[in-house]
């Protein structure tokens, strides 16, 4: 135990020296000095090399971690952003949309800090004003579904855009089917952003 401690201190010492040297080397143009003795330079080189290796390793690990986080973040964001579609003039959850919502439930349980805005939308066919109410019902339907799995109410806000923000600007059944939907905006990324 004691020897390990010593070893650690020694190691830390070298790192500290290496850091000091590294720090010095970055200092603005020092006055020209006589060439240092080759032996000393050698040791410093070795230490610097080791420090560089370690730094490289740390960078690699950090990059790997960042990549892992990136992949995880993309997974979470893509699951949470998956749209939920509705039938004409309906706001009840379609059975084929439950799997989408189930994926959201598990991700939301995994990341309790995430906060979502659920945005209800309608196709262009109904009246402009009624579609606002319909979009609100669609947002609310998904919010209720998520709450029914015990997720906290404070994590969800709702808004309706009626028919004002179509996904596809066309007047046919395919476009309408795409436009009758809930979008999801992540308003707080929780620990996806805080980084632990």
Partner 1 sequence: MRAAIDKALLLLCAASILMPAAAAAQDPERDSIPSDVRVGILYQPSFRPGIIVPPISTTDDMQELADSAREILLRDFDFGDRFQVMRVGDDVPLEGPVNYNLWDQMGAVWLVIGALEGTPDSPVLRLSLHDVVFKLLQDVQAFELPSVGDERMRLVLHRASDRVTEWATGTAGMAATKIAFVGHGSGGSEIYVVDSDGYNPHQLSDDNSITLSPAWSPSGDRIAYMSYKGGDPAIYELSLNPGRSTLLVDLPGLDLTPSYSPDGKTLAFGSTVDGRTEIFTYDLSQRCCPERTTFARYSNSLSPTFSPDGKRIAFNSDRLGQLHIFVKDIPDGSPELVTPYIYDRSVHNAGPDWSPKGDRIAFHGWVQGQPQIFTVAPNGRGLRQLTQVGRNEDPSWASDGRHIVFASTRHGYEGLWVLDVVSGRIRRLVRAAGARLPAWSGSLDSPSHFAEGAAAGSYNNR
Contact set with partner 1 (CB under 8 A) = 89, 125-130, 132-134, 136-137, 139-141, 143-144, 158-162, 164-165
Number of H helices, E strands in the chain: 6, 4
Smallest gap from Cβ 157 to partner 1, in A, equals 9
Rounded to whole angstroms, the Cα distance separating 196 from 155 reads 20
Structure-token pair, residue 187: 């308003």
* Ramachandran angles phi, psi of 112, nearest 5°: -70, -10
State the minimum distance, in angstroms, from the CB of residue 172 to partner 1.
13
Angle between helices 98-110 and 128-147 (to 10 degrees): 60
Residue (18 or 141) nearer to partner 1, CB? 141
Q: Give Cβ neighbours of residue 122 (< 8 Å, ≥ 6 apart).
A: 131, 132, 134, 135, 138, 162, 163, 179, 180
- 39-53 core/surface letters (b: 16 or more CB in 10 A; e: else): eeeeeeeeeeeebee
Q: Is residue 112 within 8 Å of 172, Cβ to Cβ?
A: no
**Of residues 18 and 160, the one with the C-beta less far from partner 1:** 160
Nearer to partner 1, 108 or 134 (CB): 134
Q: Taking the complex as a whole, how short is the minimal distance between the CB of residue 95 and partner 1, in angstroms?
A: 20
Shortest approach of partner 1 to residue 70 CB, angstroms?
30
Beta carbon of residue 82, minimum distance to partner 1 (angstroms, whole number): 21
Closer to partner 1 by Cβ: residue 114 or 131: 131
* CB nearer partner 1, residue 38 or residue 154: 154
């Amino acid at each position: 135990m004691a020897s390990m401690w010593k070893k650690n201190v020694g190691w830390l010492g070298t790192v500290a020296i290496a850091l000091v040297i590294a720090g010095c080397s970055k200092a603005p143009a020092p006055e020209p000095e006589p060439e240092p003795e080759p032996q000393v330079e050698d040791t410093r080189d070795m230490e610097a090399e080791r420090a560089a290796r370690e730094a490289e390793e740390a960078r690699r690990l950090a990059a790997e971690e960042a990549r892992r986080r990136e992949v995880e973040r993309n997974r979470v964001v893509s699951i949470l952003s998956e749209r939920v579609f509705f039938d004409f003039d309906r706001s009840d959850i379609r059975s084929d949309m439950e799997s989408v919502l189930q994926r959201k439930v598990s991700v939301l349980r995994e990341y309790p800090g995430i906060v979502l805005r659920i945005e209800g939308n309608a196709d262009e066919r109904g009246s402009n004003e009624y579609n606002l109410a319909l979009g609100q019902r669609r947002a609310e339907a998904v919010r209720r579904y998520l709450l029914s799995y015990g997720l906290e109410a404070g994590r969800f806000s709702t808004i309706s855009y009626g028919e004002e923000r179509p996904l596809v600007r066309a007047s046919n059944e395919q476009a309408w089917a795409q436009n009758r939907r809930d979008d999801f905006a992540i308003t707080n990324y929780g620990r996806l952003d805080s980084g632990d």
